[in-house]
């Protein structure tokens, strides 16, 4: 039985929006280009007869196993470690209008990744498109465990692969749980290798792009601003008015940002404070904004099944190519609500 048939969604229940953090002087003002943060260029992959990676569009020698890691995304868990090496980073809404990340690794692995946090039901709807990847997380609600057991993934959580996890000095629980990426994958020797998930890479559309220096996306209790850096050819990331820095050094950023507008509803799960867990619908179709090369493009997205990938097209129906490199996918709502 497919996972989506097992989940009960309740549509009732009004929400109270939580206050969004105040703007900081760190965040670029509208219409102003940000200052680039100087970092050491990432190691380039070796080309192999024109073969490119399906997650990044960059040259690759071989397709490797997929590792998905659930990562903390509040101020208490920052700076995060390992995100610079991710092929794809998903931003998902969780309880109380906050966000959490799911990082997808395959073309390269960081030595360490974290802070690793608990799984959510929306994760289980995203991962099947990768086949059966290794999924690293730290705990889940008891009544959600049967869903994880039946999901299309290899469980490499801290309870299943304890040897891969450690407590990072200088941090406090629960924001100090990190993992060694190679050990996580070693615990899932049959994890699926990277495959086509619908992304296309190449030249930007000749028409339709609007010049933008920054683009802001809001959740009920979180705000991301993606600001174009011509020097780095990336959209640098600010969260809640502050630069989103990496533990390895430098500001996080990516050549392509996808703001995928989705339907978010109340799931059957809730936390100890009785805040309901959102169920983010990543299967279906809808609108999107694709940021690349200092421009914003209106796009459409479609994902027919959980096993299938997500395709992005221009308003005229042509493939919406991404710029080669890391891709951030912000799963957002047109009208942010706390279900």
pLDDT in tens, 137-173: 998 888 889 999 999 999 999 999 999 999 999 999 9
Pairing state between β 263-270 and 242-243: unpaired
Q: How far apart are CA 103 and CA 80, in angstroms?
A: 11
DSSP 68-116: EEEE--SGGGPSBBSGGG-SEEEEEE-GGG-EEEEEEE-S---SEEB-B
Q: How far apart are CA 191 and CA 168, in angstroms?
A: 26
DSSP 39-62: -PPPPPPPP-TT-B-TTT-SB-SS
Distance between alpha carbon 209 and the CA centroid of its chain, in Å? 24
Residues of the chain with pLDDT > 70, as a percent, come to: 83
For the chain, the maximum distance between any two Cα atoms, rounded to a whole number of angstroms, is 55
Closest of 24, 88, 28, 18 to residue 216, by C-alpha: 28
Go through the domains of the chain in sequence order and give each one's CATH number: 67-186 (3.50.90.10), 198-332 (3.50.90.10)
Over the stretch 244-283, which tens digit does the pLDDT of each residue have? Answer: 999 999 999 999 999 999 998 777 776 666 677 888 889 9
Q: How far apart are CA 331 and CA 322, in angstroms?
A: 17
Residue 79 CB neighbour total at 10 angstroms: 15
Provide the whole-model pTM. Answer: 0.85
């Amino acid at each position: 039985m497919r996972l989506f048939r097992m989940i009960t969604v309740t549509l009732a229940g009004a929400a109270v929006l939580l206050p969004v953090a105040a703007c900081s002087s760190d965040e670029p003002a509208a219409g102003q280009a940000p200052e680039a943060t100087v970092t050491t260029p990432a190691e380039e992959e070796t080309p192999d007869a024109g073969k490119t990676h399906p997650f990044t569009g960059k040259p690759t020698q071989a397709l490797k196993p997929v590792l998905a890691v659930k990562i903390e995304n509040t101020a208490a868990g920052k700076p995060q470690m390992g995100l610079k090496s991710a092929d794809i980073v998903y931003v998902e809404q969780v309880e109380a209008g906050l966000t959490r990340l799911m990082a997808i690794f395959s073309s390269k692995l960081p030595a360490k990744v974290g802070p690793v946090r608990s799984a959510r039901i929306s994760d289980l709807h995203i991962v099947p498109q990768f086949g059966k990847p290794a999924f690293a997380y730290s705990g889940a609600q008891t009544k959600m465990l049967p869903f994880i057991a039946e999901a299309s993934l290899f469980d490499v959580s801290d309870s299943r692969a304890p040897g891969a996890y450690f407590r990072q000095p200088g941090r406090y629980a629960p924001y100090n749980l990190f993992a060694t990426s190679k050990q996580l994958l070693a615990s899932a020797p049959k994890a699926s290798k990277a495959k086509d998930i619908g992304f296309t890479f190449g030249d930007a559309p000749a028409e339709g792009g609007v010049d933008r220096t920054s683009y802001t996306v809001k959740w009920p209790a979180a705000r991301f601003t993606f600001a174009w850096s011509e020097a780095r050819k990336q959209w640098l990331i600010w969260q809640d008015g502050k630069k989103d820095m990496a533990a390895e050094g430098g500001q996080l950023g990516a050549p392509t940002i996808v703001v995928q507008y989705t339907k978010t509803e109340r799931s059957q799960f809730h936390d100890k404070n009785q805040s309901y867990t959102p169920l983010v619908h990543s299967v279906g179709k809808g609108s999107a904004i694709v940021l690349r090369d200092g421009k914003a493009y209106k796009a459409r997205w479609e994902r027919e099944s959980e096993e299938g990938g997500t395709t992005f097209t221009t308003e005229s129906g042509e493939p919406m190519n991404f710029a080669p490199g890391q891709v951030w996918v912000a799963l957002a709502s047109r009208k942010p609500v706390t279900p």
